[in-house]
Amino acid sequence: MAKQENQDDQEYRARATALRLLARREHSRLELSLKLRQRKVSGDIIDAVLDDYEKEGWLDDDRFADVYARQRIDLGYGPLRILGELQQRGVHKTPECVDEMTEEDWCQQAIGIRDKRFGLGDLSEDWDEKVRQARFLNRRGYSASQVERALEARAD
């Protein structure tokens, strides 16, 4: 009898914790699973709870990926970094909002980020500064061609 009560209590705790975390922000299934494991919830209970929440529509990796990618785009991150961060969070599908952006859109965003951070000065004579700005844009997740286009941009 004590085992059954403990099992029910642990499932209740897992459901309450997962719901509380989802109320704050969207999570991927992997993120929620890891957070519940940190709270010493057994794997069987985690899978059952997360399956139920997916059926209810409270947990959705596609919705999480879309929300997360839009936030990161708004913060000025490039496609490579966004997709890498999503994969770390257990989402291996490219969100629609990332697919909708063209190469030109990404280049314009990289130019905007460079302008905001460094200005759009001529870098043809200053190799060290060009490398510094290129590293910054690479860390932000822009491809080599996008970085190159951003470094070639000049203020009008």
pLDDT in tens, the chain (156 residues): 445 555 568 889 899 999 999 999 999 999 999 999 999 888 898 999 999 999 999 999 999 999 999 999 999 999 999 999 999 999 999 999 999 999 999 999 999 999 999 998 888 888 999 999 999 999 999 999 999 999 998 876
Which CATH number covers residue 49?
1.10.10.10
* Count of domains forming the chain: 2
Which CATH number covers residue 127?
1.10.10
Q: Does 85 fall in a domain?
A: no
In this prediction the pTM is: 0.85
CA distances from 30 to 45, 78, 91, 124, 142 (A): 14, 23, 8, 46, 26
Domain with 35, as residue range(s), is 2-59
Q: Does 138 fall in a domain?
A: yes
Tokens encoding 149: 């286009």
Q: Does 75 fall in a domain?
A: no
